[in-house]
Amino acid sequence: MDVGTDLVEIVDAELVEVGAQPAAGRPTATPFVDHNTVLRPGEELPTAAEGPRYTERDLYVSEETARALDEAGGDETGPRGSVMRRFRSWCTNEDRVAVPCTTATYTEYGRHLMGHKLKVATIRNYMSLIRTSMPVGKQPDSSLYLQLLKDYRTKNKRASRKKQAFPITLPYLVPMMRAAEADDRPIGWRDAAMFAFGYRFLARRIEDADLDIEDLDVLDDRIVVWLLKDKTHQEEEQTLTLHDRPDLDLVSRMRRWLAHLADQGITSGPLFRHVLKDGTVATTETRQKTATVRGDYLRGHTVNERVQLWFKKTGLVTDGRPVSAQGLRAGGATDLAEHGATDEELEEAGRWAKGSPIPRRVYVRPAQQKKHDPFAKIPVYGQAAAESEATGTR
């Protein structure tokens, strides 16, 4: 049948009464219903004759829309991209279909990750990214994998332990920024601006890396940031004000970096970019050998590496917790908590979900415990007697 000329009748479901026979001389009227059909009292069942009759125009999208759908569905950059590449590779080795995958394949891959003794939080994150990468309506059932994960958590207690990033508070941040700027090179200007911004913005590393120049309004005493979405606010844009302070010197550091971009004709697009050894801002064309799917945007991993580099060069040491870009966010939150910020103030500053337990559990409570030791109320054994003997009192 030529879809372009003939009418196409689509019936989602047929409702058939067992044993029913059509009245003599009357054609059978096929009910036209599906699981979303809603009838009011007294209404008759709609029939196919009353239903819509579709033509080719109703079924096809344009070439432009098809390309847009391909681009939207193929966005596998950042963490999602690396997770899906590993999943696809595993599926190829196991002779399984990756997209859309079956529930059995999904469950088996979950057990595969557990076999590598990964952290529970890491496995949850990977499996969630895989599931949401499947086509709409074809996502696998996660109940079996979660059943396995529950047992895995019980048998591997260390796999549930989360190691928080070392908080890069101001006593660490300021020396790092000064070290980055010591050689007075563009890459150091970029890093110092990025560190100051990440601390004040309480940003996740990918949020820093995803910003465009147009998202910022740099004023004399503050920076106004427009954020389309973040991890917590997926459907809600935000306008945030970052007030400057003398130790951060955020405005002047950002202006110096933006001026360097402008000198090279860059006034829009990615805010933080790759810089070559000669100070030239790299583009996808000038670094073909190292270009990534993120184009001119920095990878989150690159932000991580720059934080680790300047922390090490400054000669700073940690308490055993790992150094990463997350430390900028943790550092700002820790400084706030240690100087009396409430749960609600932290929640707003870090854009955590309303009522999130993270500000109190990770920042406020440790800050309070650091200041207050209940055992300090107990006199040191033998100290009172020694003092009495020294003063001649009893």
CA distance 224 to 271: 14
Residue at token pair 């990918």: 206
Residue appearing with tokens 């059995």: 104
- Residues 204 and 247 grouped into a single domain: yes
Cα angle value 126/229/306 (rounded, 5°):
65
Tell me, what CATH number does 315's domain have? 1.10.443.10
309 and 217 within one domain: yes
> In a 10 Å sphere around its CB, with 0-12 CB exposed, 13-18 middle and 19+ buried, how is residue 300 labelled?
buried
Neighbours of 266 (CB within 10 A): 17
Q: Are residues 147 and 186 in the same domain?
A: no
Whether 60 maps to a domain, the answer reads no
Residue 73 has what pLDDT? Answer: 57
CB neighbours of residue 274 within 10 Å: 22
- Shared domain for 309 and 192, answered yes or no, is yes
pTM of the model: 0.64
Q: What is the DSSP string of 283-298?
A: -TTTTGGG--TTTTSP
- In sequence order, what are the beta bridge partners of 13? 33
Query: What's the confidence (pLDDT) of residue 9?
Result: 42
Domain co-membership, 187 together with 152: no
Contacts of residue 35, Cβ cutoff 8 Å, sequence gap at least 6: 13
Q: Which domain holds residue 351?
A: 170-369
Q: Which residues pair with 270 in a beta bridge?
A: 212
Q: Residue 124 CA to chain centroid, in angstroms?
A: 14
Dist CA 248 CA 331 (whole Å)? 13
Q: Which two tokens stand for residue 131?
A: 């599931």
Q: Are 30 and 22 in contact (CB under 8 A)?
A: no
In a domain, 125, yes or no: yes
Q: What is the pLDDT along the chain (394 residues), one digit of tens a residue?
A: 444 444 444 444 444 444 445 545 445 567 777 777 888 888 888 776 666 777 888 888 898 888 887 766 555 555 677 899 999 999 999 999 999 999 999 999 999 999 998 888 889 999 999 999 998 889 999 999 999 999 998 888 776 666 778 899 999 999 999 999 998 999 999 999 999 999 998 888 888 888 999 999 999 999 999 887 655 555 667 788 899 999 999 999 999 999 999 999 999 999 999 999 889 998 766 655 554 567 788 888 899 999 999 999 999 998 888 899 989 988 898 898 888 888 888 888 777 777 777 777 777 767 777 777 778 788 888 776 666 666 666 5
Q: What is the pLDDT of residue 17?
A: 47
Examine the domain organization and report whether 122 and 175 are in the same domain. Answer: no
Which residue has 């996808």 as its token pair? Answer: 284
